[in-house]
Amino acid sequence: MTYYIPKYVLTDDCTLVYLLSAAIDGSLRVGSVHRGGEVRLWDLWDDGNMYGKLRHKFTIPTDQPCSEIQGEACTFAWHPFGRHVFLAGERGHGVVLDAESPFSRIAYIRSGHYHRISVAKFSKDGSLLVTASYDSCCAVWSVPEYQCLHRFWHMGREPSIPLRGGSNGHHIYGLSLSPDDFYFITICEDRCIRLWPLAPVNSPLKIYFELALQTHTSLKFRSLAFSPCGRIVAVTTNNHDVLVFTTRSESIRLGTQCLHVIRRCVVENILKKTIHCSIKHHNNSNDLTLTTSNNNYNTLFQNCISQIHLPSPVKKTILRNFVN
């Protein structure tokens, strides 16, 4: 047996770590979610020093003046460009913060989920955020407004509010996006694995029933991940097994890569503009209200794509049909 000595040991106190998330922008920053709802940011370039604690920043404004909801984070995600971080908590709320001190609040999610947000993932082009919750729903949000574009219900229908906020047999435990950003896959309390297109649909492309049909009711899914090619999904269970499934993903074509580049360039340009000139303060608060100039489109990304001189089918493909 080979033993490896770690290069860094990141320590602050003895609280349990529930989640680690590394920034993918090459900055060697890591976010950790701890028991009690604390989120810490670490800089491996700086010898692994911790440079931020974010729990006190997890506050959501309410309709009442001078009132805020204090949250405890249970999941965390880096934006692909490394400028934003997303925290979500037990009550179905989320907050978007600047990734650098003083960690200013950029946006927040106050509606969209009715229960714990268990997983959050950004698309690789940075234009979408996908969240999964115990309310049996996955939601897709536009960036940078964080406006909900679509919901994927795992019960086959939209459940009643009591079911969304309580025990419904369809708590979603895990979510993974395919390398081409065309699909995502989820693991659910009903022990089924669902493959969804990242598009506004009401039913999954495929449901894997293998574990649900087994008689061992104590078996549960723990985590899942796509292979780099996107054709294989690996799922771990609580009995130390790893299940491997094939998917519908294909090799990424040249046209698909071109669409990804367009989406990424547009999002990067939007984020630069929102920092400098497209940000308006709302009700004299610290939160940022983002507006579009075209009333036919409800997000900045949709508005920007509409102004590019491209054939209509190409624009529709770039927008993934997420047009309100």
Mean pLDDT on 57-77: 73
Domain positions in the chain: 17-246, 254-280+294-319
For residue 287, the model assigns a pLDDT of 46
251/227: higher pLDDT: 227
Mean pLDDT (the chain) is: 80
For residue 2, the model assigns a pLDDT of 72
| DSSP one-letter string for 309-323 | ---HHHHHHHHTT--
Confidence of residue 15 (pLDDT cuts 50, 70, 90): confident
Under 8 Å CB-to-CB from 100, ≥6 apart: which residues? none
Mean pLDDT on 160-175: 75
Confidence of residue 308 (pLDDT cuts 50, 70, 90): confident
Q: What ranges make up the beta strands (E) of 16-163?
A: 17-22, 29-34, 39-43, 49-53, 59-61, 68-70, 73-78, 84-89, 94-98, 105-109, 117-122, 128-133, 137-142, 148-153
Q: Which residues pair with 236 in a beta bridge?
A: 223, 242
For residue 256, the model assigns a pLDDT of 76
For residue 279, the model assigns a pLDDT of 41
Q: What CATH topology corresponds to 17-246? A: Methylamine Dehydrogenase; Chain H (2.130.10)
Reference 287, options 110, 30, 74; nearest CA is: 110
3-state secondary structure of 254: helix
3-state secondary structure of 41: strand
